[in-house]
Amino acid sequence: MEVPVIELQDVKKSFGPVDVLKGINFKAYAGRVTALVGDNGAGKSTLIKGLAGVQPYDSGTVKFDGEVVTIHTPRQAGHLGIEVVYQDLALCDNLDIVQNMFLGREEIKALTLNEATMELQAQKALESLSVRTVKSVRQKVSSLSGGQRQTVAIARSVLRQAKLVILDEPTAALGVAQTEQVLRLVRTLADSGVAVIIISHNLADVFKACDDINVLYLGKMVASLKTKETNQADVIGYITGLKTAEGDDK
């Protein structure tokens, strides 16, 4: 069996009395796009915040490339090669594309920022993803459209040579063409050997872009399926709780 890039075993998280994650098992593989679906409040964002080190889990085991790791800070996640593109993108509007892409990992030479190297690498990363819509890498992010911002956020993870890229609702705010573009970008990324996790409410997108589908229902992983072996009706059943893990309809 291939070793998953990331594997979660019995992961739990609660906020005070509210159990948000109730013992999750989850795997994602290199070169594959893994979907994480579930209704609002199912715990999807909470699950990935744990992987990002933004909001550590209360208990459970996290394995990265088969080894048990602890991820308590974004820095630790970054060192492992985990990059997250958040729902809100987490870009600094007042900085330009290059500055955003290198935020927290600036190239330094002679004690000062090596702008030329950063600019060149940012340009290359965007070009490797066949990004056409961005005019200049020195544009302020505040002047970009939703899709362009998404693109910048994804390109940032390319730049950092991530092993695992997590995208929280990457297409939620996008139009048809921009959605297409982002999904193509995701495929390009996975084909380059990265493990990609996508959170999405759009099943059409999920079936188009993902290899595996995991369904969260009220803090429990109720299904882990291969896209090829399932269909939208089944997945909707799991999401809404009409279908259970055992496979029989209620």
Partner 1 sequence: MSNVKISTGHEGTAKDQITAYFQRVKSGDMGALPAVAALLVLTVIFTAASPAFFLKPINVANLFVQAAELTMLAAAMVFVILLAEIDLSAGVTGGVGMAVFFRLMQAGMNWIPALVLGLVVGAAIGFIIGFFVSKIGVPSFVVSLAFFLGFQGLQLVLLGEGGLFRVDVPPINAIMNENMPPIGGWITLAVALILGLLITGYDRRRRASHGLPNRPYSLVILKYGAIAVIGGIILVVMNVNRSANVFKPIQGVPYVIPITLAILLLGSMVLDRTRFGRHLYAVGGNPEAARRAGIKVAKIRIISFIICSSLAVVSGLFHVSRLGAVEATAGRQIVLSGVAAAVVGGVSLFGGKGRLMHAAIGALVITIISNGLGLLGWDAGSNFLVTGGVLLLAATVDALSRKRSAGSQVRV
Ligand X SMILES: Nc1ncnc2c1ncn2[C@@H]1O[C@H](COP(=O)(O)OP(=O)(O)OP(=O)(O)O)[C@@H](O)[C@H]1O
* In the complex, minimum distance from the CB of residue 169 to ligand X, in angstroms, rounded to a whole number: 7
191 contributes a contact to partner 1 by CB under 8 A? no
211 contributes a contact to partner 1 by CB under 8 A? no
Neighbours of 132 (CB within 10 A): 10
* In the complex, minimum distance from the CB of residue 184 to partner 1, in angstroms, rounded to a whole number: 12
* In the complex, minimum distance from the CB of residue 154 to Mg ion, in angstroms, rounded to a whole number: 18
HSE (CB half, 13 Å, CA atoms) of 159?
29
Residue 114 to residue 106: CA distance in whole angstroms: 8
Q: Footprint of ligand X on residues 28-57 (CB under 6 A)?
A: 38, 40-46
171 contributes a contact to Mg ion by CB under 5 A? no
* Near Mg ion by CB under 5 A: residue from 4, 37, 38, 45: 45
188 contributes a contact to partner 1 by CB under 8 A? no
* In the complex, minimum distance from the CB of residue 137 to partner 1, in angstroms, rounded to a whole number: 6
220 contributes a contact to ligand X by CB under 6 A? no
232: which 2 tokens?
């939208």
Residue 27 to residue 5: CA distance in whole angstroms: 8
Are residues 82 and 162 in contact, defined by beta-carbon separation less than 8 angstroms?
A: yes
**Residue 4 binds which one of partner 1, Mg ion, ligand X, none, with CB within 5 to 8 A depending on kind?**
none
Helix (H) or strand (E) holding 150: helix 146-159
* In the complex, minimum distance from the CB of residue 97 to ligand X, in angstroms, rounded to a whole number: 26
* Phi then psi dihedrals of residue 43, to 5 deg: 115, 15
86 contributes a contact to partner 1 by CB under 8 A? yes
Nearer to partner 1, 70 or 142 (CB): 142
Strand duo 33-38 + 212-217: pairing: parallel
Going 196 to 199 to 205 to 211, the CA torsion angle's sign is positive
Going 197 to 201 to 205 to 210, the CA torsion angle's sign is positive
With a CB cutoff of 8 Å and minimum separation 6, the contacts of 115 are: 98
14 contributes a contact to partner 1 by CB under 8 A? no
180 contributes a contact to partner 1 by CB under 8 A? no
Packed helices 146-159 and 115-128: angle between N→C axes, nearest 10 degrees:
110
**Residue 248 binds which one of ligand X, partner 1, Mg ion, none, with CB within 5 to 8 A depending on kind?**
none
154: which 2 tokens?
């994804």
Q: Which residues bind ligand X (CB under 6 A)?
A: 15, 18, 20, 38, 40-46
Which residues in this chain contact Mg ion in the complex, by CB under 5 A? Answer: 45
Please report, as ranges, the residues that interact with partner 1 according to CB under 8 A. 52, 54, 73-75, 78, 84, 86, 88-95, 99, 103-106, 108, 111-117, 119-120, 123, 126-128, 130-132, 134-140, 142-146, 149-150, 173
